[in-house]
């Protein structure tokens, strides 16, 4: 007998089936009641159809044999349910039972293509609201390897917010531009609705890439670990590898950094072992670019407590999203505490805008593409505008493997059509704009021999904390877009050191996340677990904190010994956490608990995550940080690596520090500043010749 999943052919003559003991055990992990049990509710189909369960086959085969052995004279499947539960409780801490529990929850509570497991209805989760017909954004066409010219005015590497802005400004100035995107040209439908492969919740191969052949080495305290692009997304790094970059699947929190975020060293000094510096620009210099970013990206928000310390040219182009129970509960609590609060600014259409519809408030905005194209990002704003000029080519499914600087021209080597039979192309340009994200930008430039000793150093992200409690009535139903209300009263305040952090309501977590991580005291499987999922789970509510991470020179991207599919070195990531960053986390936890208690929550506790400090994160930055002196920076104030002539960095790599809020609006604003300077410093083919 063999146990087979994932659709592979069985050995000749083998009887292929799932043992009755496993079927019975699945129905004890999720017993039938008014809702189907685990087997009928989705696990049967999951075991039959999933291509990812080869890892579970040995564990489930061992478990089946063991259960039948424990059952004695009768097969386990023939025992009364109470006796089955008794035997399972005796082994519930074993690895083989953990595999059963995991597979059962994945099959019953995880949405995925072509499946609607019963657990979604049980918790009231509907991926697309009733009556909504999904639409697809009209992505910029693929020029294909055969359509690439030998020379362009500019080559832009990466199509995320930095690369998209650069492409827009360069093409609008009459420059010919080739944007090179590593990912294939995939539709939004392929980037939403899969709770096993979404970038933020990937259990298996993330749909947002980068796929196999892109190894990294995580340098961990317990030893180095080699990862590929199909592995643990949290450890590998959560940056999305798709057209539009992270803006294709973000939730859209579109904050401005505060004035003190641009002068962290002046305000706080530099603790031992850290590398805090000031930005080479001030908030006042950035403000016009923030205004342009909000207008051209499209942000919904309101002026008030959240904008009081960030002077503005004008208001937001769209009104804020309407209220919801979570906002009302925390707003009342903030008023009692004397804290300012407001609706979170979001780069989502709260009303029809720019020829696209309003958000339909689906429950899976975070980490998934929008069903109606109401999420604003590089893919549906900056790049279409660039294409409309007639000066843009976009090459998908292609990777730059080398950048070469020169006195008269720059050049790139491209492996085009990478998912098929790749074609090596050589393309030269007046300037090469590198906007591949904090890890890949540093890796590519280091592998190309470009940059000083600061290139790759100062890798940092944000510090995060989650506080959970229970409230008397559900306030966070499965209605999007996610986070709704925030306070900035603990940012650059006396309450939390080192710049502190923003506190927001916790977004609605996916059903599989709750099932796999129930509250302490909740049964981890069985009737009690299912009852909690169907009932009291909805009363769990949380506050989420995001705060400053103090950079360190020893946190860095270097070149690893492992090689990618082109024979180029992969990235090695070392991420250390400074004690000052831990102080920020602890401070956010204190005030997050205070906010929940003021809202009437009970049993409040701090959730401890398992994510390692060595992950690249999703807000990674700093690896090509800009400055006024090569002694403490990798690039000049306009993104040119010190010592280079025709290379410009234009992404989060440039951020010397990362503020205490989501960085994307700042990436966009700074990209407008960098690209505007590039255009103005480019008279008659003299790209890069001015400082």
Using CB atoms within 10 A of its CB, is residue 452 exposed (0-12), middle (13-18) or buried (19+)? middle
Whether residue 481 has a cis bond before it, omega within 30° of 0: yes
Tell me, yes or no, whether 61 lies in a domain: yes
In the predicted model, what is the mean pLDDT of residues 39-49?
96
Task: Indicate the pLDDT class of residue 113, thresholds 50, 70 and 90.
Answer: confident
C-alpha 685 chain-centroid distance: 38
Residue 508, token pair as written in the block: 């609605």
Residue 237, token pair as written in the block: 């790094």
Q: How far apart are CA 521 and CA 498, in angstroms?
A: 35
For a pLDDT cut of 90, what percent of the chain falls above it?
90
| pLDDT given for residue 608 in this prediction | 85
- Within 10 angstroms of residue 263's Cβ, the number of other Cβ atoms is 16
Task: Indicate the pLDDT class of residue 148, thresholds 50, 70 and 90.
Answer: very high
Q: How far apart are CA 110 and CA 106, in angstroms?
A: 5
Structural contact between residues 373 and 356, judged by C-beta atoms closer than 8 angstroms: yes
| pLDDT given for residue 5 in this prediction | 46
The 10s digit of each residue's pLDDT in 363-379 is 999 999 999 999 999 99
Which residues lie across from 108 on neighbouring strands?
none
Q: How far apart are CA 573 and CA 128, in angstroms?
A: 38
Which residues lie across from 157 on neighbouring strands?
180, 434
Least confident of 215-229, 268-282, 321-335, 677-691: 677-691
In the predicted model, what is the mean pLDDT of residues 273-292?
98
Structural contact between residues 31 and 527, judged by C-beta atoms closer than 8 angstroms: yes
What single DSSP character describes residue 398? -
User: Strand (E) positions, 6-45?
Assistant: none
C-alpha 641 chain-centroid distance: 27
Task: Indicate the pLDDT class of residue 683, thresholds 50, 70 and 90.
Answer: low
| pLDDT given for residue 21 in this prediction | 98
Indicate whether 10 pLDDT > 90. no
In the predicted model, what is the mean pLDDT of residues 107-135?
95
Q: Which of 403, 436, 386 is nearest to 679 (CA)?
A: 386
Task: Give the C-alpha distances (Å, rounded to integers) separating 471 from 16, 537, 542, 600.
Answer: 48, 10, 10, 7
In the predicted model, what is the mean pLDDT of residues 424-435?
98
Q: How far apart are CA 412 and CA 8, in angstroms?
A: 41
Structural contact between residues 541 and 506, judged by C-beta atoms closer than 8 angstroms: yes
The 10s digit of each residue's pLDDT in 612-660 is 445 678 899 999 999 999 999 999 999 999 999 999 999 999 999 999 9
Structural contact between residues 339 and 491, judged by C-beta atoms closer than 8 angstroms: no
Number of structural domains in the chain: 1
Indicate whether 492 pLDDT > 50. yes
| pLDDT given for residue 610 in this prediction | 46
What residues contact 400, with CB distance under 8 A and at least 6 apart?
A: 155, 157, 180, 412, 413, 414, 436, 444
The 10s digit of each residue's pLDDT in 60-101 is 999 999 999 999 999 999 999 999 999 999 999 999 999 999
Least confident of 436-440, 532-536, 617-621: 617-621
Tell me, yes or no, whether 271 lies in a domain: no
Tell me which residue range forms the domain holding 38: 20-109
| pLDDT given for residue 404 in this prediction | 98
Tell me, yes or no, whether 361 lies in a domain: no
499 backbone dihedrals φ, ψ, rounded to 5°: 95, -15
DSSP string, 322-333: PP-HHHHHHHHH
| pLDDT given for residue 12 in this prediction | 41
Average pLDDT of the chain is 94
In the predicted model, what is the mean pLDDT of residues 321-335?
98
| pLDDT given for residue 685 in this prediction | 43
Using the structure block, give the residue that is written with the tokens 């690039």.
Answer: 635
Tell me, yes or no, whether 475 lies in a domain: no
| pLDDT given for residue 659 in this prediction | 97
Indicate whether 295 pLDDT > 80. yes
Tell me, yes or no, whether 629 lies in a domain: no
Q: Within 13 Å, how many C-alpha atoms sit on residue 8's CB side? A: 14
Q: Using only the alpha carbons of the chain, give its radius of gyration.
A: 26
User: Strand (E) positions, 296-422?
Assistant: 342-343, 392-395, 399-404, 410-416
User: Cα torsion at 2, 6, 8, 12 (round to 10°)?
Assistant: 10
Q: How far apart are CA 678 and CA 640, in angstroms?
A: 10
| pLDDT given for residue 689 in this prediction | 35
Least confident of 1-10, 84-93, 407-416, 576-585: 1-10
Helix extents (H) in 110-244: 118-123, 161-172, 233-236
Structural contact between residues 646 and 409, judged by C-beta atoms closer than 8 angstroms: yes
DSSP string, 84-101: HHHHHHHTTTSHHHHHHH
331 backbone dihedrals φ, ψ, rounded to 5°: -65, -45
C-alpha 16 chain-centroid distance: 39
| pLDDT given for residue 3 in this prediction | 53
Using the structure block, give the residue that is written with the tokens 């685990």.
Answer: 38
In the predicted model, what is the mean pLDDT of residues 475-484?
95
Task: Indicate the pLDDT class of residue 8, thresholds 50, 70 and 90.
Answer: very low
What residues contact 509, with CB distance under 8 A and at least 6 apart?
A: none
Indicate whether 690 pLDDT > 70. no
The 10s digit of each residue's pLDDT in 306-317 is 999 999 999 999
Tell me, yes or no, whether 92 lies in a domain: yes
In the predicted model, what is the mean pLDDT of residues 277-294?
98
In the predicted model, what is the mean pLDDT of residues 298-309?
98
Tell me, yes or no, whether 327 lies in a domain: no
Using the structure block, give the residue that is written with the tokens 């986390």.
Answer: 585
Tell me, yes or no, whether 72 lies in a domain: yes
The 10s digit of each residue's pLDDT in 154-202 is 999 999 999 999 999 999 999 999 999 999 999 999 999 999 998 878 8
Question: Helix 283-293 and helix 664-680: axis angle, to 10°?
Answer: 100
* pTM of the predicted protein model: 0.96
Structural contact between residues 296 and 381, judged by C-beta atoms closer than 8 angstroms: yes
Structural contact between residues 33 and 534, judged by C-beta atoms closer than 8 angstroms: no
| pLDDT given for residue 7 in this prediction | 42
């Amino acid at each position: 007998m063999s146990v087979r999943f994932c659709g592979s052919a069985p050995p000749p003559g083998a009887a292929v089936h799932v043992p009755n003991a496993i079927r019975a055990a699945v129905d004890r992990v999720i017993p039938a009641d008014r809702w189907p049990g685990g087997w009928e509710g989705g696990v049967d189909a999951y075991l039959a159809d999933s291509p990812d369960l080869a890892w579970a086959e040995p564990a489930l085969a061992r478990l089946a044999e063991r259960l039948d052995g424990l059952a004695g004279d009768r097969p386990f499947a023939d025992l009364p349910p109470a006796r089955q539960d008794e035997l399972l409780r005796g082994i519930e801490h074993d690895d083989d039972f953990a595999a059963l529990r995991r597979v059962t929850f994945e099959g019953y509570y995880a949405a995925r293509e072509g499946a609607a497991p019963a657990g979604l209805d049980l918790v009231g989760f509907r991926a697309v609201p009733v009556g909504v017909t999904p639409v697809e954004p009209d992505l910029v066409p693929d020029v294909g390897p055969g359509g690439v010219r030998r020379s362009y005015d500019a080559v832009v590497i990466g199509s995320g917010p930095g690369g998209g802005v650069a492409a827009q400004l360069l093409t609008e100035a009459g420059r010919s531009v080739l944007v090179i995107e590593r990912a294939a040209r995939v539709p939004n439908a392929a980037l939403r609705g899969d709770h096993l492969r979404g970038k933020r919740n990937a259990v298996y191969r993330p749909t947002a890439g980068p796929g196999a052949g892109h190894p990294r080495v995580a340098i961990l305290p317990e030893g180095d670990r080699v990862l590929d692009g199909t592995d643990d997304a949290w450890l590998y790094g959560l940056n999305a590898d798709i057209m539009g970059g992270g803006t294709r699947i973000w939730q859209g929190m579109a904050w401005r950094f505060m004035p003190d975020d641009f002068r962290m060293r002046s305000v706080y000094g530099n603790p031992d072992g850290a590398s805090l510096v000031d930005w080479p620009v001030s908030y006042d210099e950035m403000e016009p670019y923030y205004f342009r970013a909000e207008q051209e990206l499209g942000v919904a928000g309101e002026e008030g407590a959240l904008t009081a310390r960030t002077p503005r040219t004008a208001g937001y182009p769209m009104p804020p999203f309407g209220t919801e129970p979570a906002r009302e509960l925390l707003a009342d609590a903030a008023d009692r505490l004397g804290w300012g609060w407001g609706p979170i600014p979001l780069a989502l259409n709260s009303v029809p805008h720019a020829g696209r519809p309003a958000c339909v408030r689906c429950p899976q905005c975070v980490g998934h593409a929008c069903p109606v194209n109401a999420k604003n990002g590089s893919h549906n704003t900056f790049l279409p505008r660039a294409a409309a000029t007639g000066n843009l080519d976009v090459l998908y499914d292609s990777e730059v493997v080398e950048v070469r600087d020169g006195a008269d021209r720059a050049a790139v080597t491209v492996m085009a059509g990478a998912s098929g039979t790749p074609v090596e192309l050589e393309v030269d340009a007046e300037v090469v704009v590198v906007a591949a994200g904090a890890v890949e930008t540093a890796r590519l430039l280091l592998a190309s021999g470009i940059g000083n000793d600061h290139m790759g150093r100062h890798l940092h992200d944000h510090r995060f904390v989650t506080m959970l409690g229970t409230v008397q009535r559900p306030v966070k139903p499965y209605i999007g877009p996610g986070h709704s209300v925030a306070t900035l009263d603990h940012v650059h305040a006396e309450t939390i050191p080192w710049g502190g952090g923003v506190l927001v309501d916790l977004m609605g977590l996916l059903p599989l996340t709750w099932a796999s991580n129930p509250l302490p005291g909740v049964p981890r499987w069985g009737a009690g677990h299912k009852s909690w999922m169907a009932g009291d789970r909805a009363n769990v509510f949380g506050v989420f904190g995001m705060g400053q991470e103090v950079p360190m020179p020893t946190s860095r991207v270097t070149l690893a010994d492992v090689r990618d599919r082109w024979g180029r070195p992969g990235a090695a990531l070392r991420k250390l956490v400074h004690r000052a960053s831990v102080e920020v986390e602890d401070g956010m936890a204190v005030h997050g608990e205070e906010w929940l208690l003021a809202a009437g929550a009970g049993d409040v506790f701090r959730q401890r995550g398992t994510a390692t400090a060595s992950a690249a994160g999703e807000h990674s930055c700093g690896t090509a940080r800009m400055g006024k002196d090569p002694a403490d920076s990798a690039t000049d104030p306009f993104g040119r690596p010190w010592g280079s002539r025709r290379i410009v960095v234009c992404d989060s790599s440039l951020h010397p520090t990362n503020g205490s809020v989501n960085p994307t609006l700042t990436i966009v604003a700074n990209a407008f500043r960098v690209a505007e300077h590039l255009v103005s410093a480019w008279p008659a083919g003299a790209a890069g010749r001015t400082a």
